[in-house]
Amino acid sequence: MLGLKTGISKGFGGASLRNISAQSLQYLSRLVPYPTSAREKAYCDFIDGLVNAGLGDHFDFLSINCAVNGGTSLTNVWGTQYTAIEIELTSGLTFSANSGWSGGVSGHHISTQFNPAIAISPKYTLNDAMAGFWCSSPTTIAAIQIFAATIANPQTPLAQLSLYPKWSNGNASFCINGASDLSTASPFNSDGLFIAQRTASNACALYRNNSLILSSSQSSSSVPNGEIRFRCAHPTRIMFIGKSMNSSQRASFQTLCENLITSITGGIP
């Protein structure tokens, strides 16, 4: 991994000159237009905070959706190998500047183009995996948020991966590398940071804002052999895939996401 500070100063597009870490620079240099000084600082604080929290090597895919345009919102923070794309078979999914994606329905979603079954040296593996997002609406919606599907059948979810933050019946459910969905009545709304993760062959859990919703000893079966996708039926400001986090890392990630979103939107959720 590159060292945290490079001593490189940048000044694109009116952005202020500052020392930028290698990790931040490789993301910022791929954005069009280059961020303003305030947005540049928000991105650097977020990315460097992840590195300092020990999360610099945790992600296959991480996108900051509350961005100025759709292209920036689909850019992978951690490299060029996987860039998200909008899948439009029907209509409904909408990008709103500085807010993110929302309104996704069957036939219209975001694909990360990351397939853990065929990826080279993925962070997301059979018994150490994570997928999640930040939602800005507390409304319950009878829709899936995260799923995996093949290119040939992009609207047919594979059994091994799902995340429903809160169904209209009051239940939250998920599956990560297992054989079927796990479900429970949720005391929480649909807004906030949701993380589904597997930490062992017999251990998986779903969290909202680092509070446990459901844990299970369900056995792992296989990783999904399809691209991991985000329906965005719930307004979505951050998307991510990778290996699991421990409790302190989840807490750090929670704070960093809150600070990033607040700096862009003026508050949370």
210-251: per-residue pLDDT in tens? 999 999 999 999 999 999 999 999 899 999 999 999 999 999
Q: How far apart are the first and last CA of the chain?
A: 33
Average predicted confidence (pLDDT) for the chain: 92
Q: How does pLDDT run across 62-119, given as a tens digit for each residue?
A: 999 999 999 999 999 998 899 999 998 877 899 999 999 999 988 899 999 999 999 9
What is the pTM for the complete model shown? 0.92
Give the separation between CA 44 and CA 21, rounded to whole angstroms. 8
Residues 6+ apart with CB under 8 A from 149: 155, 156, 157, 158, 226, 227, 229
- How far apart CA 132 and CA 54 sit, in angstroms, is 18
CATH entry, 58-265, from 2.60.120.200, 3.40.50.720, 2.60.40.10, 2.40.50.100: 2.60.120.200
Among 19-23, 105-109, 163-167, which is the least confidently predicted range? 105-109
Domain boundaries along the sequence of the chain: 1-52, 58-265
Q: Where does residue 153 fall: left (phi above 0), alpha (psi -120 to 50 degrees), or beta otherwise?
A: beta
